[in-house]
């Protein structure tokens, strides 16, 4: 029996979340905020925290330095029941993100630091063999990992794991092809803009169909509308849950956790898409990506 249900690979860093008058005006203009929170950030870390809260035995493989930010990350992950398997940061400091948050949108400023340190060889067979499923987040923040992730996923499948991927946004907006990676990906978890950008197709149905024909299940975050999914032989949609939105940071990562928890718990794709949509909605009730994440009872488990 595997030690972990899910191994999440990717980024872990603090998020400094600012709310209020957050659109900068230069010229030494001082602006007053309504709130500032220092919280656990990184798509992979937030996804891992959500998986653990939903009852999965969860490990996170990420590069976190022994510095002030790294110690914050380690303490928060431990508190949330996530086992951190520390990767080699290659001397870089722990990354950090500043989020300028408005009700319906946000700006994101990131210092990569150790986030970009992961190499494909770091994700060894011994590491993969400790889990049932491997999920990768924030691919475009990890330029070395992207070069060999297809091989990592191929090796994972050969030893019996299932695989999933959330690329997140490409800061360079080059959207280099990930076709070879998706050929070894069981579940792809983009939002609508990412799906269109990666495929180069304007209509989400057509974009999803282009990926599904190669066997990948596409589960798309559809904002306030909830979720849509397509897989070989079927498709479905699920609504989100109406909540008083405080902050949307990390909602997509909580969405990922809801889907993974359902599927690894033996539920159908249709049920899992419903879990994902609700988990994403519920996470927006508080500042940051983890404070308001769903518990199993919230999803009807």
Please give the Cα distance from 240 to 157 (Å, whole number). 32
Residue 262 — pLDDT band, cuts 50, 70, 90? very high
Taking each helix axis from N to C end, the angle separating 251-264 and 43-53, rounded to the nearest 10 degrees, works out to 40
Given a cut of 70, whether residue 27 has pLDDT beyond it is yes
Residue 76 — pLDDT band, cuts 50, 70, 90? very high
Structure letter (DSSP) for residue 191: B
* Nearest Cα residue to 152 out of 132, 137, 134: 134
Please give the Cα distance from 17 to 164 (Å, whole number). 28
All domains of the chain, ordered by start, with CATH? 4-22+35-292 (3.40.1190.20)
Burial of 165 (0-12, 13-18, 19+ CB in 10 A): buried
pLDDT in tens, 123-179: 999 999 999 999 999 999 999 999 999 999 999 999 999 999 999 999 999 988 799
Cα 65 to chain centroid, rounded: 21
pTM score of the predicted model: 0.96
Distances (CA, A) of 262 to 124, 143, 271: 27, 30, 7
* Nearest Cα residue to 65 out of 40, 95, 110, 39: 95
Structure letter (DSSP) for residue 167: -
The pLDDT of residue 63 is 98
């Amino acid at each position: 029996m595997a030690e972990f249900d899910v191994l999440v690979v990717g980024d872990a860093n603090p998020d400094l979340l600012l709310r209020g008058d957050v659109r900068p005006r230069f010229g030494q203009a001082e602006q007053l905020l309504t709130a500032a929170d220092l919280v656990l950030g990184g798509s992979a870390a937030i996804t891992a925290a959500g998986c653990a809260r939903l009852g999965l035995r969860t490990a996170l493989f990420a590069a976190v330095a022994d510095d002030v930010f790294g110690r914050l990350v380690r303490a928060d992950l431990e508190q949330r029941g996530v086992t951190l398997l520390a990767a080699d940061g290659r001397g870089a400091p722990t990354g950090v993100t500043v989020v300028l948050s408005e009700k319906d949108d946000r700006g994101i400023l990131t210092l990569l630091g150790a986030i970009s340190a992961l190499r494909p060889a770091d994700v060894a067979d011994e590491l993969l063999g400790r889990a049932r499923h491997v999920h990768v987040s924030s691919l475009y923040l990890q330029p070395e990992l992207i070069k060999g992730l297809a091989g990592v996923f191929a090796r994972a499948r050969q030893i019996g794991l299932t695989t999933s991927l959330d690329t997140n946004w490409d800061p360079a907006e080059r959207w280099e092809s990930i076709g070879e990676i998706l050929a070894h990906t069981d579940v792809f978890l983009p939002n609508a803009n990412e799906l269109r950008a990666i495929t180069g197709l304007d209509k989400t149905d057509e974009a999803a169909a282009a990926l599904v024909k190669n066997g990948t299940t596409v589960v798309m975050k559809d904002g306030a509308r909830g979720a849509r999914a397509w897989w070989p032989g079927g498709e479905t949609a699920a609504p989100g849950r109406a909540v008083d939105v405080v902050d949307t940071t990390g909602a997509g990562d909580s969405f990922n956790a809801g889907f993974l928890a359902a599927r690894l718990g033996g539920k159908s794709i249709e049920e899992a898409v419903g879990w994902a949509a609700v988990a994403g909605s519920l996470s927006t009730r508080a500042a940051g990506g983890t404070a308001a994440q769903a518990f199993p009872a919230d999803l009807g488990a």
